[in-house]
Amino acid sequence: MAQYEEVKVHGYEEFCKAVSERKGKDIFAYFSGDKDDQGASWCPDCVKAEPVVRGEMAHLPEGSVFIYCQVGERPYWKDPNNEFKKTLKLTGVPTLLRYGTPQKLVEEQCFKADLVRMMFTED
C-alpha cells in the first residue's frame, strides 16, 4: 500500500499554507463543496465523486500528498471572483488536480475511477 499524507483544509488560505509547507512534494488536490454537520456536501457531484476518488487513493505515488479542500459554502463558490476561480482557475467542483501541472479532472470526470487512477499513476 502506497504511503501518502492526507491533509484536510478549508478555504483558500489553508490550502495555500498546506501547499507551501509541502514544497517539492508531489501534491494532488481534491476540491469539494463544504459539508454540513451530517457530512453531506451542498454539491451533489462532490457527494458522488468522493467515494470514487477515495477508492483510488491506494494508487497515489509513494511520498505524495493528498489535500482534501472544502471550497466554502455555495454562495461563496458561486462568486466568480472567489480565490479558487481567480487564482487556481477552478471552473467547477469537484475538481481533482495534480498541483503545478495541467492535469485536472473536473466534475463528471471525477466519477470515472479509471481517469482518477490514471492521474494518480502517470508521471
Q: Is residue 17 left, alpha or beta, with left meaning phi > 0 and alpha meaning psi from -120 to 50?
A: alpha
CA distances from 112 to 40, 49, 64, 120 (A): 21, 8, 21, 13
Q: Residue 102 contacts by C-beta under 8 Å, 6 or more apart in sequence?
A: none
Could you give the CA distance from residue 3 to residue 8 in angstroms, rounded to a whole number? Answer: 17
- Identify the residue with better confidence: 106 or 123: 106
- pLDDT for the residue 2: 56
- 100 Cβ neighbours under 8 A, 6+ residues apart: 27
Query: Residue 69 is placed in which grid cell?
Result: 479542500
| H/E run at residue 118 | helix 113-121
Cell 511520498 maps to which residue? Answer: 63
Q: What is the pLDDT of residues 53-83, one digit of tens each?
A: 999 999 999 999 999 999 999 999 999 999 9
Q: How far apart are CA 99 and CA 88, in angstroms?
A: 10
pTM of the complete model = 0.95
- Bridge partner residues of 70 (DSSP): 10, 32
Among 16, 43, 69, 110, the active-site one is 43
Mean pLDDT, residues 97-103: 95
19, three cell numbers: 501547499
Known catalytic residue at 69: no
